[in-house]
Amino acid sequence: MSCGNPTTEPDALMQRRKKYDKTKNCVRCKDAQGNIVIRHTVYCKNCFTPLLIHKFRRVLEPTVNPKPDGPRRTALKPAGNLVIGFSGGLGSSVLLDLVHRCYVALDKSTMPTEGGRDHPRHERVWKKVTVCYVEVCDAFPGMDDRTDEIAHFVSRYDELDFVPLRIQHAFDRTWWERMGRSTSFSDIGVGLADESLLIEPLSQTYPDPLTALRTYLSSLPTPTAIHSSIQALTRVLLLHTALQTGSSHLVLGTSLTSLAVSLISGVAQGAGFNVREESMEEWTPDPETRPTPDTVPDDGTEGARKSKEAKRTVRIVRPLRDIGMKECATWAWWSHIPVVGKEKWVWPGAKPGIGTLTKDFILGLEQDYPSTVSTIVRTCGKLAPKGEVAGKCILCGRPAQRGVQEWKARISIRSQPPPPPSDSDSTDAPATPAPVVPESKADTRPSLTPYLCYPCHTTLTSRSARPVPSPWPDTAHSSVAPLPVWTEARLGTHADVGVSVADEEEIAVAKKMGQEEMKGIVNEFLLDDEEAS
C-alpha cells in the first residue's frame, strides 16, 4: 500500500477501517456467524437476547430492594409497586417489553438457570405494574394525539394498568386533588418578563389547564427552555402518579444514547450538579403536600401496606442505560415490537434548542465512533459534583445546590452606573473609570428565585438576543404566568425558611442580603476616589 494518488494508483487508497474487532464470529459462543455489531463487538442473534436481558437486569435489580444487597444476594422485595414511564418512543417500548417478559409474564427464557424450580425469582416481584403515558400534543401546534395508539400498544401486554395523562395536568387542580393533595392555596403566578421572577397573584381567574400550559410555555424565553420545561413537567407528573399508585419505583426507557444526550445537554444548561440524578435518583414528595393516609390506595397487599407506613420515596431507575439505541432498535425488530414512535417537538419559526443540537451531535458520533457515546456516560458516572444540597427545586423536584444565587451575584455584572461628570479643566486627566457593581436593589418583593435550582433558574431567565417565536402566538400574553400546581402548592403552604404568609393574598419573603452587604462583598474591587483622579 503506497501513499500515492488514488486516482492513478488504485492500491494507494487506504482500506476502510473495519467496524468490528477480530472476526465476524460471535464473541460469546464463538461458533455462529455474527448478526450484530455493538461497539465493535460481534454477537449472533441467539447470544444477543440473553446479553440484552442481562444488561437490563444488571441495572434494575440492585435497585429493587429498599436497601442495597449485602454480600449475599437476597430475594427481590420492593417497598411498593412499579410504574413504567412510557413515551411511545423506542426506548420505552423496549423497556415495557423487557419488564413484562421478566417480571410479569415470567418468561423462563429470561431467567438465570441456577436456583431450581422453587427459587424466589419465579415469583412476581411487583404485584402491580402501571404504565403511565403523558400526552404532550397540546403543547405543540399541529401535533397528533397518540393516546389511543399508545393504549392499543399497551393492551398487547396483559396484567398492566394504563394511566394516560396530559401535559396540562401539571396546571390542573382537579388532577392535583385526585392525587390526594390539598388545593387550598391561592392563585399565584410568576413574572417571567424579567429575571427578578417576582411572585404575584394571577391577574385573572385561574385559567383552565390548557390555557395555563400554553401561557406558561409562551412566556418561556427560548426553545431550549420550552423543551426542558416539558421534560421536567412530565417527570414530576410521573412521580406523582407513582406516589398515587403506591409505587416505590418509576422506570424510564432512557437508553445509553439518550442518556449521553441528556447528560451533555443538561451540563450545557447548567445542570452539572444533578448529573448523577440523570442516571438514578430518589424523590420524596414535599412534606407539606403529602397525601393524607386514607388517600393512599390499599389493595390489601403487603407491599401496599408497607408503602403506606414507610417514608414515601420513589426511586427513578433507567434500566436501559447500558443499552444503546442501536441495540434497542435491533431488539424491537427481532421481537416484532410495533413501536408507535413520537413526534418532534417543533413549531413554526423555532430554531433547534440545545437538546436537539446535542442529539444530532451524539447520533453522528455514535455512527462514526460508537464507543465514544459509552465513554461519555462512563465519565459522567465518575463525576461527584461539589457543593451541598439545599432542599429541592420547587419546579423540577431535583436537589438544588446551596449558594447558587450568591455565586451568580458575585460573577455577574448586571448594571453600570453612569460615569461621574468630567472636570473641563483637566482634559489630559484620564477619565474616571465607573465603578462596576452588581445590581443590588433592596428588593423585598417575593421572588421565585430562592426556590429554584440553577438549571431551572437559567431555563426561566436565560434569554436569546433574537426574538423567539412562541408555539402559541395567539395566546393572550400575560405579565404573570401561571405555575405548575406543585409549585403553587409549595409556595402556598409557605413551609420553606424565610417565607411567611401575611394574608391570603400576599406572600412576604425575607430579604437575605441588603445593599450595604452587597457593597461590602465587592468593596475590594471598587476604586477609591483618590486612585481614580
Neighbouring residues of 117: CB distance < 8 A, sequence distance ≥ 6:
none
Chain position carrying cell 403566578: 189
Residues 256-295: x where in contact with other proteins by CB under 8 A, - otherwise, as a string: -x--------------------------------------
Neighbouring residues of 205: CB distance < 8 A, sequence distance ≥ 6:
187
Q: Are 128 and 159 spatial neighbours (Cβ–Cβ below 8 Å)?
A: no
Q: Of the ranges 234-242, 274-282, 333-341, 430-438, which one interacts with other proteins (CB under 8 A)?
A: 333-341
Per DSSP bridges, beta strands 389-392 and 399-401 are antiparallel
Q: Can you tell me whether residue 371 is helix, strand or coil?
A: helix
Q: Of the ranges 196-204, 232-240, 288-296, 339-347, which one interacts with other proteins (CB under 8 A)?
A: 339-347
DSSP string, 142-167: TPPP-HHHHHHHHTTSTT-EEEEEEG
Q: Least separation, in Å, of the C-beta of 515 and other proteins?
A: 49
Restricting to residues 84-103, which ones interact with other proteins according to CB under 8 A? 87-90
Choosing from 82, 366, 448, 487, the residue that interacts with other proteins (CB under 8 A) is 366
The length of the chain, given as a count of residues: 533
Q: Kindly state the DSSP code that residue 24 receives in the 8-state scheme.
A: S
Using CA atoms, how far apart are residues 19 and 78, in angstroms rounded to an integer? 42
| Residue 409: CB atoms within 10 Å | 16
Which is nearer to other proteins, 160 or 261 (by Cβ)?
Answer: 261
Q: Least separation, in Å, of the C-beta of 340 and other proteins?
A: 8
H or E segment and range at residue 47: helix 45-60
Which is nearer to other proteins, 233 or 404 (by Cβ)?
Answer: 233
Please tell me whether residue 195 binds other proteins under the rule CB under 8 A.
no
Which is nearer to other proteins, 80 or 370 (by Cβ)?
Answer: 370
Q: How many residues of this chain interact with other proteins, rule: CB under 8 A?
A: 34
Which is nearer to other proteins, 293 or 341 (by Cβ)?
Answer: 341
Please tell me whether residue 333 binds other proteins under the rule CB under 8 A.
yes
Query: Could you tell me where the DSSP H helices lie in 313-403?
Result: 325-334, 354-368, 370-382
Please tell me whether residue 21 binds other proteins under the rule CB under 8 A.
no
Q: CA geometry: angle at 172 spanning 171 and 176, to 5°?
A: 110
Please tell me whether residue 332 binds other proteins under the rule CB under 8 A.
yes
CA distances from 519 to 412, 444, 522, 528 (A): 14, 17, 5, 13
Q: Are 263 and 379 spatial neighbours (Cβ–Cβ below 8 Å)?
A: no
Residues 46-85: x where in contact with other proteins by CB under 8 A, - otherwise, as a string: ----------------------------------------
Specify the amino acid at residue 166: R
Please tell me whether residue 42 binds other proteins under the rule CB under 8 A.
yes
Neighbouring residues of 137: CB distance < 8 A, sequence distance ≥ 6:
143, 144, 145, 146, 343
Q: Least separation, in Å, of the C-beta of 92 and other proteins?
A: 10
Q: Of the ranges 19-27, 199-207, 213-221, 403-411, which one interacts with other proteins (CB under 8 A)?
A: 19-27
Which is nearer to other proteins, 42 or 453 (by Cβ)?
Answer: 42
Residues 219-258: x where in contact with other proteins by CB under 8 A, - otherwise, as a string: --------------------------------------x-
Strands, E assignment, 388-462:
389-392, 399-401
Using CA atoms, how far apart are residues 106 and 122, in angstroms rounded to an integer? 7
Using CA atoms, how far apart are residues 462 and 409, in angstroms rounded to an integer? 15
Which is nearer to other proteins, 112 or 338 (by Cβ)?
Answer: 338
Q: Of the ranges 72-80, 95-103, 266-274, 328-336, which one interacts with other proteins (CB under 8 A)?
A: 328-336
Please tell me whether residue 326 binds other proteins under the rule CB under 8 A.
yes
CA distances from 275 to 220, 399, 512 (A): 24, 11, 29
Q: Of the ranges 78-86, 183-191, 321-329, 412-420, which one interacts with other proteins (CB under 8 A)?
A: 321-329
Which is nearer to other proteins, 90 or 404 (by Cβ)?
Answer: 90
Which is nearer to other proteins, 183 or 367 (by Cβ)?
Answer: 367
Binding footprint of other proteins on the chain (CB under 8 A): 16, 19-20, 24, 33-37, 42, 45, 87-90, 257, 325-326, 328-330, 332-333, 339-344, 360, 363-364, 366-367
